[in-house]
Amino acid sequence: MTRKREFPLAQVYGLLEPGPVVLVTTARAGRANIMPMSWHTMMEFVPPLVGCVISNLNYTFETLRTTGECVINVPTAELAKMVVACGNVSGQSEDKFKTLGLTPVAASVVKPPLIAECYANLECKVMDRTLVSAYDLFILEVVKAWIDPERKNSKTLHHRGYGRFAIDGRIISLPSRMR
Amino acid sequence: MTRKREFPLAQVYGLLEPGPVVLVTTARAGRANIMPMSWHTMMEFVPPLVGCVISNLNYTFETLRTTGECVINVPTAELAKMVVACGNVSGQSEDKFKTLGLTPVAASVVKPPLIAECYANLECKVMDRTLVSAYDLFILEVVKAWIDPERKNSKTLHHRGYGRFAIDGRIISLPSRMR
């Protein structure tokens, strides 16, 4: 993939633990879709497991439940307007890659495409559906990860509701015994 | 509670959805403990449900499983050193409120105390234990929420691993149809 290189699975938690809004790509019958998501958490370091809540009102829910595959793409602050636009239309009626001017790139393990413009991409498979019907909670395993090595410390977006976001500011580093 | 006022439960998601590191207080046999946590996600708007992964290697795990109650406290960036220090010692051997110089304040519904120094405090009860044994995943219901009205847009901390944090920077607001 252009410019991107494989990212160690054991370091994936450092991308999602800080709580960035992400874009989830799914695909069904050869057609890809994109959905912004902020309700996710790391659940295990290795293999990296991610819990995410995707409302059954979203078009993505049924696709993910049926296909069991998705890609979590991490956008940077420059893409904020696109992220909000992505949430304002439904994938049922529009081809979001076309509408939003994004570039799909073939993934290596799963069918849904990576979004080239996002600085990190995590190929995922659904590995536990126990709480899908009760809470719309999918537990995903990240099976392959990609990062743009030139944008490793990118500023991400943190949704506070209704289109308000905090953008990453200063980075601090303190001596810690915790991973 | 000094300076703090009750916060509407329907707005709680705006505090946790951006992914801040939080401090979880629990209490057993009259003794309170504190643990930093970054593995959490909103799961429902109203009543606010929060999924959180608390390793069974932590002292907090057993207390939460036994008592079914905790408080999620949201610290601001000024408290970064204390947050890291909190993760570097075990509550089994130390009284963390004393060691860290924090002020416990009685909660209104649950037994564990609120941390006065944190700008928001969410009193929680465990409401689903289905995936506790498989993934250490507790699903909590927020039953009462408090905020410091003078620090509503506080800068929070986003953990990137090993004591590195991104501090909230600029806030942007874009027209959105999504909550």
- Looking at chain A, the number of H-run helices and the number of E-run strands are 5, 12
Q: Say what the pLDDT of residue A72 is.
A: 98
Measured between alpha carbons, how far is B50 from B146 in angstroms, rounded to an integer? Answer: 16
Measured between alpha carbons, how far is B95 from B51 in angstroms, rounded to an integer? Answer: 27
Q: Say what the pLDDT of residue B153 is.
A: 74
Beta bridge partners of B35: B24
CA distance to B21, B43, B173, B174, B175, per residue, from B10 (Å): 21, 13, 20, 21, 20
Q: Say what the pLDDT of residue B23 is.
A: 98
Instruction: With a cut of 60, say whether residue A109 has pLDDT above it.
Output: yes
One-letter amino acid for residue A93 of the chain:
S
Asked whether the beta carbons of residue B42 and residue A53 sit closer than 8 angstroms, the reply is yes
Whether the CB-CB separation of A136 and A55 falls below 8 Å is answered with yes
Question: Which chain B residue shows the shortest CA-CA distance from A40?
Answer: B41
Give residue-wise pLDDT tens across range B109-155. 999 999 999 999 999 999 999 999 999 999 999 999 999 988 877 89
Interface ipTM: 0.96
Share of chain A above pLDDT 70, in %: 99
Q: Say what the pLDDT of residue A11 is.
A: 94
> Could you say which residues from 95 to 114 on chain A have a Cβ atom under 8 Å away from some Cβ of chain B?
none
Q: Say what the pLDDT of residue B2 is.
A: 65
CA angle B91, A175, B79 (to 5 degrees): 65
For chain B, first and last CA: distance in Å?
30
Q: Which residue has the tokens 């799914």?
A: A26
Instruction: With a cut of 90, say whether residue B179 has pLDDT above it.
Output: no
Of A162, A164, A168, which has the smallest distance from its Cβ to B166's Cβ?
A168
Chain A residues within 8 A of B80 when measuring between CB atoms? 172, 174
Give chain A's mean pLDDT.
95
Give residue-wise pLDDT tens across range A116-169. 999 999 999 999 999 999 999 999 999 999 999 888 778 999 999 999 999 999
Q: Say what the pLDDT of residue A2 is.
A: 64
What's the gap in Å between the CA of A110 and the closest CA on chain B? 24
Asked whether the beta carbons of residue A14 and residue B169 sit closer than 8 angstroms, the reply is no
- Residue A9 confidence class, pLDDT cut points 50, 70, 90: very high
Share of chain A above pLDDT 90, in %: 88
